[in-house]
Structure 1
């Protein structure tokens, strides 16, 4: 989805200094663009590895050559490269689920064809299970980010260089209350988030070894800390809560045109607007500051749900996209999801996501957590019923049904498959036969 931060034209020139009050008004005005939910988007991140032996590292020279070739390919989605060399495709806003799937599927086909010419391929893991974090991009933004995040440990480097995700973007919702109202959808995104973390956890390994977490990627986000990677409190107006959070978050960097960027320690945006040191912040600085905050749900006019691990298989990303779209954009499914996850909120202890027991249990235990497993069963069933109402094809609903059968109904997630392989265990043959199937989306087989 396009960055709505740049849609607001009611402010002064972007290089003019802004006051604290102006920043608060700006953020409140751009974070939630309300109206009937109409658009959907997805951002799919991938690790890039050797096509036949993905455990082998790829040299920076080969990555650079492959990405130079990709830049010549016409795509409907925006293609970007992450600091560790991960590849990301960000769809344009789509008017329907199937439009979104069609655009990204076609783009992925084109990308894979170019990468395959150099013996490279895309691998779907939430965290690289083989290699230590290694930075591919050397840019001032990532130099500053590394310096800033290193102050709290190594989690930032893992996030920057070794992680990948499926980020689903949904409209903020109506101004009015109800299942599709922006207040309800904001709350639902944070309370449904742990269910999505648990159901799609796919990062249990680092350095070939189990970490003890189904989603190590989510663990690293937690370790980065609440100021940078946390959500604001949910007890109040979403606009006001997010504006306060933005102002009270530490500034990652002060950009300069004449050398390395400054990386202040402990300087919040609110403090910066009041002191004007080392220079007064501008509208451009506010826009940039918003890109350095990484909560599990980021309001960018629309809502960007950032908690889902990258998924196995060429088309594994379609299931979390379809399930999330159904639970947000179908009124009946949204109401079911709301009622289902509401009791789980007690486990959050009124602490912001993801730094509360509910989110932590989801990342560690996946659907092995009984309450999260039960909630996932109800929510996925509601999504499956809603998908035909959203225009989903039988192939897409079949892929979701197969995922429910293989994982949700068994209290499992993709991370459990990886752990089984590491431990040398397998499901009994009869269960393997009952959970395997093949469906077709856009002419390609999806093995589940």
Structure 2
């Protein structure tokens, strides 16, 4: 499609819900080769010698002028997709080293946690989107504010794989979630207080409207399921001239198609709407896993490698799903208790062992396998499992 033709489609109005669903289903998964792996590494930033000191937008953008920032001042590092784990490790560590150097030179420090251990939620950056997001989240309480201003995540971007393998792969990434969330939970302290949750970040996640941020249905047709979910999800905002992008509570994209707002949505509006949905796994060509806490330093690689290994081929997917079956759906227990939940902990060891065996089988260099194993073992030691 030419650039002109693409622009024409983007600006075309959507007249039927079926048209929106068909469009979403056609773009949400890029199946087949070439496969690539990516990762988005998000970090909270503190003043090095005074981590509880608030950071203002002007100061933070002056100190890190070339870095994309979130509403709470989070720094996001998007590592370009790579053809394999070894090259992703190299690219990710090089990018993180450069970020760490920029941050250190500015008198700052990367926090390395999934929630701010020192500061209460506080807005740093403002924009029409962020203001609309804050207004929408506030309707359900303060959890959305915590996520916007105090949380940081690690987001592996996994290939969708061949079309015939997608349903099992999609299901596996969800079914393994409680085990991997518990294994890599890294946000027990928020604003100076032990919260009693292994992943306080995920505790806040549960306070967001599940129509925007819940677990998606799994089944034989993930694309159709995502399309139905997305079209019936509430609008976060509508882009328009001026400072306010707010929308009335409860208006869904389907309602917008039906005439609920002053104009009909376009396919460009639909593309933007998809980027305002935050399910635990979001399809965007790849599988964007959103349930993992930010990790300290180079520890980001271990959860990415484990997930990649567990969905690497149909036999491994089947084995991983069998191992995860007893903990399917136990998201809250995983976030609250982490590896101290006996039933979840019982599933972690065999799942981790399977991942390590697959990484060795598939030729990941020994030092990188040892790095992953060391990161896993450190989690076990913390939970007194070794």
TM-score by length of 2: 0.93
What secondary structure, in the 3-state scheme, does the structure 2 residue paired with 1:91 have?
strand
Tell me if structure 1 keeps the 8 A contact 2:178–2:327. no
Q: Which residue of 2 aligns with 1:355?
A: none
Within 5 Å, give how 1:83-94 maps onto structure 2: 83-94=71-82
Other-structure match for 1:155: 143
| Residues in 1 aligned to 2:43 and 2:223: alpha-carbon distance in whole angstroms | 32
Contact persistence 2:251–2:260 (CA under 8 A): no
For the residue of structure 1 that corresponds to 2:81, the secondary structure is: coil
C-alpha offsets along residues 338-394 of structure 1, whole Å, 9 cap, x if unaligned? 22112333xx3xxxxxxxxx1111101111122211211111111111113344222
How far, CA to CA, are the matches of 2:261 and 2:48 in structure 1? 50
Q: Which residue of 2 aligns with 1:186?
A: 170
**2:340 pairs with 1:342:** no
| Counterpart position of 1:48 | 45
Residue of structure 2 equivalent to 1:389? 361
Indicate how the Cα distance of structure 1 residues 235 and 324 shifts in structure 2: closer, same or farther if over 3 A, else same: closer
> Residue 399 of structure 1: CA displacement?
1.8
Q: Deviations over 1:287-341 (max 9, x none)?
A: 11101110000011110001110112x2111111111111122555433212211
1:316 match: secondary structure: helix
For residue 322 of structure 1, the aligned residue among 288, 292, 305 is 305
Q: Trace 1:22-421 onto structure 2 (pairs within 5 A).
A: 22-36=19-33, 38-68=35-65, 71=66, 79-176=67-164, 181-275=165-259, 277-312=261-296, 314-345=297-328, 348=329, 358-408=330-380, 410=381, 412=383
Q: Equivalents in 2 of 1:152, 1:16: separation in Å?
A: 34
Q: How far does the alpha carbon of each residue in 1:391-419 deviate from its partner, in whole angstroms, 9 at most, with x for none? A: 422222112222333323x582xxxxxxx
User: Please, which runs of 5 or more residues in structure 2 have no aligned partner?
Assistant: none
| Residue aligned with 1:404, SS | helix
Ranked by relative contact order (alpha carbons within 8 Å, sequence separation 6 or more), the top structure is: 2
Residues 391 and 63 of structure 1: is their aligned pair in 2 closer, same or farther, counting only changes over 3 Å? farther
- The change in CA–CA distance for 1:59 and 1:267 in structure 2 (over 3 A counts) is closer
Change (3 A) 1:115 1:195: same
Asked whether the equivalents of residues 44 and 88 of structure 1 are also in contact (C-alpha less than 8 Å), the reply is yes
Q: 1:14 aligns to what?
A: 10
Q: 1:359 to 1:81 in 2, by over 3 A?
A: same
Whole-angstrom CA distance in 2 between matches of 1:360 and 1:330: 29
Gaps of 5+ in 1: 1-6, 72-78, 349-357, 413-426, 436-448
